[in-house]
Amino acid sequence: MKKTADIIIIGAGIIGAATGYYLAKNKLKVLILEKQFPCAGSTGRCIGGIRQQYTHPLSINVMLESVRIFSVLKNEFGKEVEWYSGGYLFLAHSEDKKQTYLQAIDIQKQYQIPVRFITPDDCLQIVKGLNPEGLLGGAYCPTDGQANPFAVTYGYLDGIKKMGGKLLTNTEVAKINVTGNKIISAVTTDNQEYFAPVILNAAGPWAKKIGKMVNLDIPVQPERHESVVTEACERLFDPMLVDYRSDGCYFIQNYGTGHFIGCYTPVPNDPGENIKATSEFLTEMPRRMARLVPRLGNLKVIRQWAGSYEMTPDGNPIVDKTPVEGFYVSVGMCGHGFMFGPALGKYMAELITQGKSSLPLDDFALNRSFGKKEAMK
């Protein structure tokens, strides 16, 4: 049988691009099939935050590695990716939230993450103009940061092309052929058949649909999340500001451009594939931003849009091989795909080429019990 590639990756977001890059470095012939264009799904709609402040040990370990990779990507690509270590500041406005953060810090300290709980005065030092009303302090980690999702993803994709791999845009997979429980080929909507012994599902919001093509039920449900971006201005503060109150929000000043960019998690959540922007968000988000940092009030909002968080039942990704031989999944990123992407790409490439990854990914297994939820969400 003819072979088109060593591996077919479905989806040219950060997960497909990073995994493809580390596979190509391992001398594998990579073919990426992308139904629209790179970053058209969730990666290009995210706000680019990168943090290590999690409570799940595996998420922390993945993020320690991702931050290390982000900090050297500029050298790796020979191109700017706008990585900036400006930190994350999680604000506590209730004793409850403060305790959640203190417990999280206890866990994070075990992994040498330089995170600490700081006083309201310290918060005001770091974020000039922050509204101190009701503020009990915040969990601050200066080594968290941000990068440009487009620059990172296109950097990986350019690398793949340089190493002889191929990216086909406007190429949607319609069918996956399996014989005797083994991956054979992917067939696209324009009736082209591409043969490879391995297929990686990196389809983000469409991961469940791709799973169904091999009769695999992947517990991933996209939820709509919206964003706004303001005009650019001089640098006002460094960290991503996170307010996890039910009517809170999170936003960051883009290091490369000076725009403020932010979003919030809707209550109740908003499941489904609809990613149209709403007028409700266009007025609600500015209200929440202005409450947190009133002096942002004069900045103009220039654009709003929406995207998907691909949620799993426990808020952690699914990164695993599957009962179908040659079919792998790196899906259900729960809104953290961009920051998890570089490290998960590296570990998934190890799993595919060596049969196991240098960091055991058991807690992200497809058949896990999905019990305990991530507290830092």
The residues binding another protein (CB under 8 A) are 37-40, 44, 150, 154, 229-232, 257, 277-280, 282-284, 286-287, 289-290, 296-305
Nearer to another protein, 278 or 353 (CB): 278
Smallest separation, CB 15 to another protein (Å): 17
Smallest separation, CB 288 to another protein (Å): 8
Whether 222 contacts 205, CB under 8 Å = yes
The β-bridge partners of 9 are 32, 200
In angstroms, the CA 343 to CA 14 distance is: 11
Smallest separation, CB 104 to another protein (Å): 30
Smallest separation, CB 183 to another protein (Å): 29
Whether 242 contacts 335, CB under 8 Å = no
Nearer to another protein, 137 or 248 (CB): 248
Nearer to another protein, 20 or 44 (CB): 44
Whether 326 contacts 140, CB under 8 Å = no
DSSP 3-70: -S-SEEEE--SHHHHHHHHHHHHTT--EEEE-SS-TTTTTGGGS--EE----SSHHHHHHHHHHHHHH
Q: What angle do CA 6, 202, 345 make, to 5 degrees?
A: 75
Which helix H or strand E contains 224, and what residues bound it? strand 221-232
Nearer to another protein, 272 or 360 (CB): 272
Smallest separation, CB 166 to another protein (Å): 11
Smallest separation, CB 301 to another protein (Å): 6
The β-bridge partners of 242 are 90, 250
Nearer to another protein, 163 or 282 (CB): 282
The β-bridge partners of 32 are 9, 167
Whether 281 contacts 75, CB under 8 Å = no
Smallest separation, CB 282 to another protein (Å): 6
Strands, DSSP E only, in 86-131? 88-92, 116-118
Q: How many CB atoms lie within 10 A of CB 139?
A: 24
Nearer to another protein, 10 or 289 (CB): 289
Smallest separation, CB 258 to another protein (Å): 11
Nearer to another protein, 187 or 306 (CB): 306
Nearer to another protein, 108 or 171 (CB): 171
